[in-house]
Structure 1
Amino acid sequence: MATVAQWISGTRPRTLPNSIAPVLVGAGAAHHIDGFNPTWSLLALLVSVALQIGVNYANDYSDGIRGTDTHRVGPFRLVGSGAANPKAVRTAAFAALGAAAAAGLTLIALTGRYWMVLFGAVCVAAAWFYTGGRKPYGYAGLGELAVFVFFGPAAVLGTLYVQTGEITGIGIGGAIAMGAFSTAVMIANSLRDIPTDIQAGKRTLATTLGDKDSRRLYLALTTIPFVITLAIGLREPMALGAFLALPLAILGARRVAKGNKGRDLIPVLQHTGLAMLLWAIATTTALAIG
């Protein structure tokens, strides 16, 4: 039976900045046009974090029963390690996705934007079918695209729109930046797993591009947010404070550029995720003050 610490590890805490940062940026963009509501922002954050935990447990379950995790060198897996019963992990995934749905429905009821029930349903379905079901799209090389969409535009612009009913240029810029950071985390993860994914028959963007081009893509993705910072800074100079995240991004980029493999790539996920979170905090603060 898995311990409490192992269940917590199964949520993959290092990936949680991917769900927190986009909501912060969306809330900041809402504040910038005087549409910020703390209660609604908190509910949006609960939706995002619960979806992230749900998809992490769902991936643990689905990859575990397929045998994809058998030889991986990455974070601890509940099912792949044999520490937890697959059905228990599946139940945990459904519970987290159910919590996301409950928070989302509450937010929709409070804001009256009822059409967003469909939006939420798509998000929940995407979380499960990433590696779940008979034909998971995460095994068809579409995982990175989904990460960009759901942790970028969906999370940032969803948080902005549900509060204000508007989409702004700064919101779009923030959405692209968050999508780029999240996809970079995904690429780093897939880059580490190229050998085992090929062995397991799992197709990712990294297995399609190969090692060298995947590294180039990672470096390009981690550059994009800072280009956007320059653009936002033309309107809100304080947003240039997001360059505080650059040293963390460089830490990850150096490992990728040097050709590190296997376990040596694990810190890249943390560095990139923290750079994303710091970028979001700095940008959100600038938008709130501005």
Structure 2
Amino acid sequence: MKSTRDTHRFSATTSRFLLPTFRRPCYLDIIKTNVPKSLNKSNIFHKWTEEGQAPYYTIINDALLSDNYNILNQNMIYINNLREAIKENLHQDSIKVYRNLKFCSTYVKDEYKEGMTFLWPTFSSTSRNKDVASTFGNYTFEINASTNDFTYRTDISMYSKYSYEQEVLFYPYSGFRVKKIIPDARIIQLECVDTIEVESNSRILVPEQVKIFDAERKMFVYFYKDNEDLHWSHADTPDQMYLIGQNMNGYWDSHYRYHHSNGYFVHKGNNLWEEYQNEQFHASFQQI
């Protein structure tokens, strides 16, 4: 049975934020905070499935995608209680579930590679029913979850007004590996992977230092593995380095993408880096 609802709970917003390999700093901050526990799973899960002009799941997932501290902090009690409810009601059986997202084929070709691992930052809604999931996007993720994959998920269909959707809800920053991509069928087959394993393997790939050159502005930019500082220098005086101010939240969210206070640098391959500010292309750099 296909869902007839106009909902994005099963699809979520797609953007550069969708495929990190590290949990982001604002999320890590709020989950370390002790909050009042209210593990009435019926109320918690039902609230997640509620619709309306501004569904709660949209507010929460948009904030998780962008690592928006203000919204995450405002909703910290519910987020942490929902996390705990999923964990306490963990379904460890081996299952196959489905999630559909709206993609163009170029995006899939550029972003998804067989063998790659990634984290989904959101609470990810999936369905045991492929027909239900297909309503929400043109690409189907077939997700195989096993008994020993260290991934928190639970079936919340009994608490939903729309029980026929057979919803299985995954913990934020659940880890996945791409097993196979079937382009003609628009299917991406995934298996669940421990989040800690994804982060550990990715951390090995983060360079100790990156030095990139902007030929147009004749400047070098430097950023680092274990330091939030961002430096620059003139091309003709590379030893005179200057600290770029107000970069208090620099971080890597994958081994190929570094965030700074105004945007991010992303490695495009072949020593080419691009900088984006306010979601717009800003400059190209060559890695030195």
Instruction: Using structure 2 for the length normalisation, give the TM-score.
Output: 0.26
Instruction: Using structure 1 for the length normalisation, give the TM-score.
Output: 0.26
Q: Comparing both structures, which one devotes a greater share of its residues to helix?
A: 1
Q: Comparing both structures, which one devotes a greater share of its residues to strand?
A: 2
When Rg is computed on C-alpha atoms for both structures, the one with the higher figure is 2
Bigger RCO (CA 8 Å, 6+ sep): 1
